Amino acid sequence: MDMTYHSAMDELSFDGRVAIVTGAGGGLGRLHALDLARRGARVVVNDVGSAVDGSGASAHAAEAVAEEINALGGEAIADVHSVADPADGAAIVDTALAAFGRLDVLVNNAGILRDAAFKNITPEMLDSVLDVHLRGAFNVTRPAWLHMLERGYGRIIMTSSGSGLFGNFGQANYGAAKMGLVGMTRVLAIEGGRKGILVNAIAPIALTRMTAPVMGEAGTPYAPELVTPLVTYLAHERCDRNGNIYSVGAGKVSRVFIGATAGIEHPELSAELIAKSIDAIDDVTTFTVR
């Protein structure tokens, strides 16, 4: 089967582009890597091959996806460095540069779950999730950023979550990490926009190995294949959006934005005045998108 992408629409080609997809040994990351390769990108398939909770490691997952892409006529290389380690993060970028000579796209997708009610979460459970999601994105993005600055071009996609944006029981560690990625996205969008580097975030809802225990049968409409089209667009040179957050799942894409209500303003603000005016402060009838 030829990996060349064909469509009745004006297809988004990635010919000549190089992409890194972290956590690409399965689930969403695998589908992102396959679609980018199908459209002409040369892809570094990164995955440490761990269990959902981050334990263990195996090269099989990354190698299997890279082999799948190559067998279909694309071009990919496996990488098993851990995003949680700063040196490994740099090594992932070095893998792309050594194999393909450039880097255009980075999809930060790697993740683990260590869910528990807040009373049961330990510092280790917080650190391990932050290490992969938040620090992991930093560890790969920073060396990629330096290369992209030199070339004056880049597309970076952060994988956030509704758990961070809206909250979800038992995921204080995961939600904190995912909302941290929103903050990183917003800052990098400001710093990179004038340098040709656009950074956006997605909050996917998809039935995968990681979410299956929580979603169960209710996750059936949320096929992971319906998330990848958004990632592909945000990774393309035609994308001109920067600093945005998109919710995506079950075929629906919507923008999630940060806004501020009109609120109140008083030169002698007091706790008592706030108590009296809290409904007006919270009123979302009028707001400004930030």
Do both 282 and 174 map to the same domain?
no
* Separation of alpha carbons 126 and 135, rounded Å: 12
Q: How high is the pLDDT of residue 18?
A: 99
Residue 163 lies in a domain: yes
pLDDT tens-digit series, residues 131-185: 999 999 999 999 999 999 999 999 999 999 999 999 999 999 999 999 999 999 9
Confidence band, pLDDT 50/70/90 cuts, at residue 207 = low
* Confidence (pLDDT) at 218: 61
Determine the Cα–Cα distance for residues 129 and 84; give it in Å rounded to an integer: 9
Q: Tokens for 113, please give them.
A: 């779950």
Residues 48 and 158 in one domain: yes
Using CA atoms, how far apart are residues 148 and 283, in angstroms rounded to an integer?
Answer: 42
Burial 225-256 (b: 16+ CB within 10 A, else e): ebbbebbbbbbbeebeebbbbbbbbeeeeeeb
* % of the chain with per-residue pLDDT over 70: 92
Helix (H) or strand (E) holding 111: none
- In this prediction, residue 5 has a pLDDT band, given cuts at 50, 70 and 90, of very low
Q: Which amino acid is at 218?
A: A
Residue 222 scores a pLDDT above 90: no
∠ CA 53-24-44 to the nearest 5 degrees? Answer: 135
Residues 243 and 134 occupy one common structural domain: yes
Same structural domain, 219 and 272: no
Residues 272 and 205 in one domain: no
Of 48-57, 88-97, 249-258, the range with the lowest mean pLDDT is 48-57
Residue of 153, 174, 222, 246 marked catalytic: 174
Shared-domain flag, residues 32 and 142: yes
For the chain, the average pLDDT equals 94
Number of H helices, E strands in the chain: 9, 10
| 202: CATH | 3.40.50.720
252 and 280 part of one domain: no
Strand partners of residue 76: 43
Of 4, 7, 32, whose CA–CA distance to 20 is shortest? Answer: 32
Does the annotation mark 174 as catalytic?
yes
Pick from 93, 112, 109: nearest CA to 50: 112
With contact defined as beta carbons under 8 Å apart, do 203 and 161 qualify? yes
User: Are 244 and 149 contained in the same domain?
Assistant: yes
Q: How confident is the model at residue 55 (pLDDT cuts 50, 70, 90)?
A: confident
Per-residue model confidence (pLDDT) at position 54: 87
Ranges 12-26, 34-48, 151-165, 210-224: which has the least confidence: 210-224
CA 226 to chain centre: 15
Q: How many domains does the chain have?
A: 2
Q: Same structural domain for residues 287 and 221?
A: no
Give residues with Cβ within 8 angstroms of 288, minimum separation 6: 259, 260, 262
Domain extent at residue 263: 258-290
Percent of all residues in the chain with a pLDDT value above 90, rounded to a whole number? 87
d(CA 168, CA 210): 15
Q: Is the pLDDT of residue 119 over 90?
A: yes
CB of 174 within 8 A of CB of 133? Answer: yes
